[in-house]
């Protein structure tokens, strides 16, 4: 499974964040890379942003948007990467997004991190659903190894066990991640099958949480 990668740098205080952002902009400009700074009034009192225009011969001209958080947990992070209107592209697929992120890291971020003696954190493009639900994955796997599309009571019980495990273990599983996993592992499922269980997943979790919380 593939995902849009994250990238973040943590700091000890807000002053470091401000200095780091200035250095990011200076490094970009030294490479003739456009960097546009947005004032704090645009995105929030304790949040600033930089917008870098990253281009490559084989990739669409794109905006790498960096947010700087100067409040609790001071940090900077890549908030998003979006193609510019001039690129003629409306959306970036996972691979292209991550390629552009790598260019930003290689050309700008890694150098500034070295100057400040800090490290950036970034996850891998490829991931397993088990990363998101390590405690509940066994129940999901057990359900899928049965006959999940049947109406047999035992298969329904295994589905319920999976739902209960998610809520009990307080693990979050997005619908998009669930669907992507099903597409990759259950080749015989139709789109209707996937959407049906996505709706069941969302509804069942809401219902169980409602019961546990005693809402009425």
Partners of residue 56 on adjacent β-strands: 59
Return the exposure string of 157-178: e unless at least 16 CB atoms fall within 10 Å of the residue's CB, then b: ebbebbbebbbeeeeebeeebb
Assess whether pLDDT exceeds 60 at residue 127.
Answer: yes
The count of domains in the chain is 2
Q: In which band, very low, low, confident or very high, does the pLDDT at 215 lie, cut at 50, 70 and 90?
A: low
Query: Could you say which of 62, 89, 122 is where a domain stops?
Result: 122
- Composition of the chain by helix, strand, coil, percent to 5: 50, 20, 30
Q: Are residues 135 and 81 in the same domain?
A: no
pLDDT, tens digit (0-9, with 9 covering 90-100), for 63-107:
999 999 988 899 999 999 999 999 999 999 999 999 999 999 999
Which residue range is the domain that position 153 belongs to? Answer: 129-213
Q: Are residues 106 and 169 in the same domain?
A: no
Predicted structure pTM score:
0.80
Q: Are residues 148 and 114 in the same domain?
A: no
pLDDT, tens digit (0-9, with 9 covering 90-100), for 195-204:
999 999 999 9
Helical (H) or strand (E) element with 67: strand 59-69
DSSP code of residue 147: -
Query: Could you say which of 76, 98, 122 is where a domain stops?
Result: 122
- Tokens 């740098």 correspond to 9
């Amino acid at each position: 499974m593939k995902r849009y990668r994250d990238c973040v740098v943590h700091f000890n205080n807000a002053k470091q964040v401000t200095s780091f952002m200035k250095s990011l902009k200076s490094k970009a400009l030294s490479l003739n890379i456009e960097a546009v700074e947005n004032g704090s009034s645009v995105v929030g009192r304790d949040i600033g942003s930089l917008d870098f225009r990253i281009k490559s011969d084989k990739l669409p001209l794109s905006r790498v948007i960096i947010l700087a958080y100067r409040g609790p947990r001071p940090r900077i992070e890549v908030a998003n990467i979006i193609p510019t209107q001039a690129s003629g592209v409306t959306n970036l697929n996972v691979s292209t997004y991550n390629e552009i992120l790598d260019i930003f890291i290689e050309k700008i971020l890694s150098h500034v991190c070295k100057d400040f003696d800090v490290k950036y954190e970034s996850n891998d493009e490829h991931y397993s659903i088990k990363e998101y639900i390590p405690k509940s994955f066994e129940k999901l796997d057990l359900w899928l190894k049965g006959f999940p599309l049947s109406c047999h009571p035992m298969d329904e019980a295994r589905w319920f066990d999976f739902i209960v495990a998610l809520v009990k273990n307080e693990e979050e599983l997005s619908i998009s991640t669930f669907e992507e996993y099903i597409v990759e592992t259950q080749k015989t499922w139709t789109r209707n099958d996937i959407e049906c269980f996505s709706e069941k997943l969302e509804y069942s979790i809401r219902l169980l949480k409602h019961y546990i919380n005693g809402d009425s």
